[in-house]
Amino acid sequence: MTAKPAFGHILNVADARRAAARRLPRGLFEYIDRGSEDEVAIAANRRQLDAIRLAPKVLVDVSRPSTAVEILGQRLSLPLVVAPTAVAGLVWHDGEIALAKAAAQAGIPFCVSTQSITAIERIAAESGARLWFQLYVWQNRQRMLGLLDRARAAGAETLVLTVDTAVGPNREYNTRNGFGIPLKASWRAGIDVALHPRWAIGVMLRALATGGVPTYAHYPEEFRTKLGRVTLSDEVALAADVTWEDVKLLRRHWRGKLVLKGILRVDDALAAASHGCDAIVVSNHGARNLDCAIGPTEVLPAIADEVGDRIEILADGGVRRGADIARFLALGARGVLVGRAPLFGLAIGGADGASHILDMLSVELRRTMAFLGAPDIASAARARLA
């Protein structure tokens, strides 16, 4: 990979993170970057990934490495999926479309969030990306099913049900920064925006000029509100009574692949398989929800051993290097979701910035595979001896 001139100084994800911190208002950046409560889990995710050592196999021909992989019946160029994120449309103007374009260029899917600011129909029409759709269950299940029909009609092939967010997380820094969803006017937030004029002009003012105050584009028209207001109805509030009965409902209704995101126990992985799910994502929500939750790397090997022959296993949690992808593969994942890393790229350069991040991860993964003596993804998955 040859870095584009605009990103020549961005040599890794850490560089992009620092650049994003300078460009975005502090409240928005920390909303993306940080965890919850005392942020024990976010530090643990990183520490546990760093502790994983892989065993190189020598004297293997790695002159033509391949990172191609099949995930849920789709042939992908990389074992990656761009994860769903609720605020991409605030990070860059039409940020969801930009992320989807970057994913399409990389040959991987983009997962659209229920709480996307841009409608899936626009994302599909303007990006050319292979789309997945992430679902938060609404209290009114019939309206939720209507949303799924809409997503399917727009071209979403895979449904990702987030199962680890029964209540809103405790993120105290959002309160201190004056940032949250719904957006609320405050002197802290006002000063924060004023100190970041490129973002204010390039994102917020453009949004106001082209469509007004952003909204959650997938909410029913009669209940759609500006991000500065609370929802008009409990019908589209996130449900706290989601159970395996909802999984049965989704399995009956959704004709495509069904994935449960947020699994951290073997028994839940077994239940997902028994309910006809096609895949799970072993994840603690990027350490953004339960601060005392175990990390995905702690449980991934046991889950893979138990259900890896019955259901596809994906994972996420703090990927910053291509070596992190290899680590997850060696623990038993078929693929990895990346959320924060492409958002950092998005913040500094839109679709080109996000593409730069995905290109860097691809190059780093190939280099890691070469050092491991792994000419393909299947070989990389065997790089952990214990």
Q: Which residues are catalytic?
A: 285
Cα atoms found within 13 Å of the Cα of residue 62, Cβ hemisphere only: 21
CB neighbour list of residue 386: distance below 8 Å, 6 or more residues apart: none
Q: What are phi and psi of 69, to 5 degrees?
A: -155, 155
CB neighbour list of residue 365: distance below 8 Å, 6 or more residues apart: 67, 78, 322, 323, 325, 326
- CA-nearest of 178, 157, 130 to 279 is 157
Which three-class secondary structure state does DSSP give residue 284?
coil
Contact between 37 and 291 (Cβ < 8 Å): yes
Helices 187-194 & 26-33 angle (0-180, nearest 10): 100
Contact between 98 and 124 (Cβ < 8 Å): no
Contact between 92 and 203 (Cβ < 8 Å): yes
Q: What is the token pair recorded at 40?
A: 């024990």
Q: What is the token pair recorded at 150?
A: 């809409």
- What is the per-residue DSSP string for 176-188? HHT--SS----HH
Residue type, 298: E
Contact between 219 and 236 (Cβ < 8 Å): yes
Query: 182 preceded by cis ω (within 30°)?
Result: yes
CA distance 230 to 232: 6
